[in-house]
Amino acid sequence: MALLQISEPGQSTEPHKHKLAAGIDLGTTNSLIATVRSGKAETLADADGKHTVPSVVHYVDSETIEVGHKAKQQQSIEPGNVISSIKRLMGRGLADMDKIKEFSANQLVESDTGMPGVVLENGIEKNPVEVSSDILRVLADRAEETLGGELGGIVITVPAYFDEAQRQATKDAAQLAGLKVLRLLNEPTAAAVAYGLDTGSEGIHAIYDLGGGTFDISILRLQKGVFEVLATGGDSALGGDDFDRAIAQYLVEQANVDSGDRRAHQLAMIKARDIKEALTDTDTVEVNFLEWNGQMSRDQVEEIIAPIVDKTLLSCRRTLKDAGVKVDEVDKVVMVGGSTRVPLVREKVEKHFKVPPLTDIDPDKVVAIGAAIQANVLIGNKSDDDMLLLDVIPLSLGVETMGGLAEKIIPRNTPIPIAKAQEFTTFKDGQTAMAIHVVQGERELVEDCRSLARFELRGIPPMVAGAARIKVTYQVDADGLLQVLAEETTSGVKADITVKPSYGLSDDQITNMLQSSFSHAEGDMEARMLREQKVEAARVIEAVTAALNENGKELLTEQEYAAIQSSLEQLNQTSQGDSVEAIEKAIEIVEKNSNEFASRRMDASIAKALVGHEVDEI
């Protein structure tokens, strides 16, 4: 008798049709790829048994490239033709480059993507999307060779603090590599999935993710089977590379290396990394760097890197406050990223959160494993009821209104995907177009926020000011990408844009945006009130002036006309100042002087409408 095939609920009834999917941790320093096989998520190794792929690309010539360990070996031999830490350039513009430490100014040029292009010594020019694509393709090839088939889709992890430009650049890189992206997943969220926190007891968990080039801290809550990110924080330009750089700076000072000797500085970085890793398991190491020979102790290195670790804890405190969570409410702390192997990091994190951190899973692999589990769900091999992840947007999304004010449409830490709409109206009579300026940030004024995109809504029917109804809808998908739609509801005219800005947040913006919103809160509110009063003053001046021009001479005596005109001039002058109360008082005087005029205009309008009609017809 033939066997009867059965399966678990939600799983395929035909195992041979199992779809191939993988999770990719596209890191600043190292990258990994993982998949689920026989119900277990695991990272995939190359022929030499190495699981990590250094995020380094060597462009030998226009036809030949090396990715990973071979490319890394060339860093000390041919640094001018090797690109590393490209993740730090993803979604950025040339204006940010003075803050990016790995790339000297003569290596960078403007590319057609809006992001900087890296010019190598052999004349080859590459942009961050192309370099990332080369890394992704090598990872995908490894998976397809190991699994014996083409990948049906991948999940790529990104720092939780990546903005729309950086996320879109990551998706572009995958598309260039010929890969289908099932979802972009925040790295801390992936780590929580890897530890099975999504299936554990309800509680609040902190994910401390210190990689080579980025730091993320996320506060997560598991409640009734829903895994929710309460708040995220971090710095997209802070990581273990900064440990190496600080140690390398000490080495070049001891060896009296010239600041322009790029090769010596590259060697110092390699030596610094070796010192850092060696001191994880021992107290002192012998150091031979160029012509300097000496010793370095763990205490000495910890003193060098302590300010960098403290900087991560500052983000932790801020993110806990954002989440409305006290330190003693955190049940578990997950350590992610190779830099969390540093003993000082673990000691300071444990002291800060008052609980021993979880370090059971290799911190280098944990993000890729979580991504693989999610990819297995999204490709259809497992019921998606098994996992519900609610990521959040890191910074508020809004629109510019009159007076340069930032009106928030979607507040920060709102779970995604999300769609929200708000109605606006026209400022002037007969206005037929409206400029939509999409901004991101926590401050009250547009000038203090980050500009994401601009577009125009045209074809608005000419109406009196305030009559049109412009519905602006913000929609953020599961990957954190934003689409904005503007529609005039009476006529149905529409305009939309998918926000794909040309560059990402600068280092200073990332680290200071939230902090500045708190420190400037009182001043921002005062500035907003002043701007709002100035906008109201402009509206009153516009409306009353238009009315005077239309029939002021007909309905007013010379004395009445002069009084209104005088109060308008006084309002115009007062609105140039900085006193909210004075502007408000000046508006009241204009309204008082023009109340009788408004009544006469209404009577005249009614009389005009009744001309030629019988009472019974009305």
Q: Are 387 and 196 in contact (CB under 8 A)?
A: no
Active site residues: 25, 87, 187, 209
Nearest to 128 by CA among 157, 102, 147, 148: 102
Tokens of 542: 């516009």
Tell me the three state secondary structure of residue 274. helix
Tell me the three state secondary structure of residue 410. strand
Tokens of 453: 């995109």
Burial of 303 (0-12, 13-18, 19+ CB in 10 A): exposed
* Rounded Cα gap, residues 452 and 164, in angstroms: 9
Tokens of 129: 């999307």
Indicate the length of the chain as a whole number.
Answer: 618
| Sequence-separated (6 or more) residues with CB below 8 Å from residue 540 | 571, 587, 590, 591
Nearest to 169 by CA among 501, 409, 432, 497: 501
* Rounded Cα gap, residues 32 and 194, in angstroms: 14
The tally of CA atoms less than 13 A away on the side-chain side of residue 579 is 11
| Sequence-separated (6 or more) residues with CB below 8 Å from residue 190 | 23, 25, 155, 157, 366, 367, 368, 369, 370, 371, 374
Q: What angle do CA 556, 559, 565 make, to 5 degrees?
A: 80
* Rounded Cα gap, residues 352 and 349, in angstroms: 5
Phi/psi for 239 (5° steps) reads -175, -165
Element (H or E) spanning 483, and its range?
strand 482-488
| Sequence-separated (6 or more) residues with CB below 8 Å from residue 237 | 88, 99, 100, 213, 214, 507, 510
